[in-house]
Amino acid sequence: MTGTGTQAAEKPRRRQARGERRIEQLLEAAAQVFQEVGYPAASTNGIARAAGVSPGTLYQFFPNKEALAVELGRRLMAELEQTHGRVLSGADTTRPLAEILDTVLDPLIAFNLGHPAFFVLIHGPEAPGEIVSDHEELHAVLQQQITDLVARRAPDLPIPELDRVSVMAFAIFRAGLALVMHSDGAQREGYIVELKSALHRYLAPVLGS
């Protein structure tokens, strides 16, 4: 796949090492600003300033603000899979439910705590009229992985119920994750336990203990 010019032939844009470094700086700055003020309130000029470059330089590498968020999401998603393995799709669905939840949720929570921008990106853009493909894809990928996980655990579940349960489970996860993210110390530990309890109790009747 990484061979000479197989897929990336559409953009023969040659990039210097300096450019690659700038891209990293910009994404890092974007992550910082996103988590500080949220995606909608984050300004491209502010991101450029945080990266120590001019606005023009930002647009040398990213066509617009959305592209910044999309690429950041891509990288975070890749890093999630790299550092924690295939968390969702690799889970052993024959284990007890509580164990599955631990092995799935702990890495996800840890990753979100370590990369708060990820949490910002999987929370909808709030404005309904936004360009749909914004963070929607990140959301959809995670949702699909959860649905697959549930389907593997309960293969005989009718499709509509499978979808409903999976969507609800993801919603509960995001809601609980928000509580975890906005607390700290002992409280945070408490919410983590609470989130696991909520999901366990919700899923046990459907997936078995």
Partner DNA sequence: GACAAATACGAGCGGTCGCTCACATTCTAT
Partner DNA sequence: ATAGAATGTGAGCGACCGCTCGTATTTGTC
- Is 53 near DNA (CB under 7 A)? yes
Taking the complex as a whole, the smallest distance from the CB of residue 73 to DNA amounts, in Å, to 16
| Binding site partner of 89, from its own copies, DNA, none, Cβ cut-off 5-8 A by kind | none
Q: Looking at 59, 124, 141, 163, which residue binds DNA (CB under 7 A)?
A: 59
Tell me the CA distances in angstroms from 198 to 12, 77, 157, 161, one per residue in order: 50, 25, 21, 19
Taking the complex as a whole, the smallest distance from the CB of residue 25 to DNA amounts, in Å, to 9
Nearer to DNA, 43 or 89 (CB): 43
Residues 6+ apart with CB under 8 A from 167: 143, 147
Of 58-66, 79-87, 162-170, 173-181, the window that binds DNA (rule: CB under 7 A) is: 58-66
| Binding site partner of 171, from DNA, its own copies, none, Cβ cut-off 5-8 A by kind | its own copies
Burial of 151 (0-12, 13-18, 19+ CB in 10 A): middle
Taking the complex as a whole, the smallest distance from the CB of residue 121 to its own copies amounts, in Å, to 13
What own/partner pairs with CB < 8 Å and gap ≥ 24 does 96-101 have?
96/209, 97/200, 97/203, 97/204, 97/207, 97/208, 97/209, 98/196, 98/200, 98/209, 100/153, 101/196, 101/199, 101/200, 101/203
The pair of structure tokens assigned to 177 is 């994750």
| Binding site partner of 13, from its own copies, DNA, none, Cβ cut-off 5-8 A by kind | DNA
Nearer to DNA, 19 or 124 (CB): 19
- Is 32 near DNA (CB under 7 A)? no
- 44 with 58: CB under 8 angstroms? yes
| Binding site partner of 22, from DNA, its own copies, none, Cβ cut-off 5-8 A by kind | DNA
Residues that bind DNA (CB under 7 A): 13-20, 22, 41-46, 52-57, 59-60, 63-66
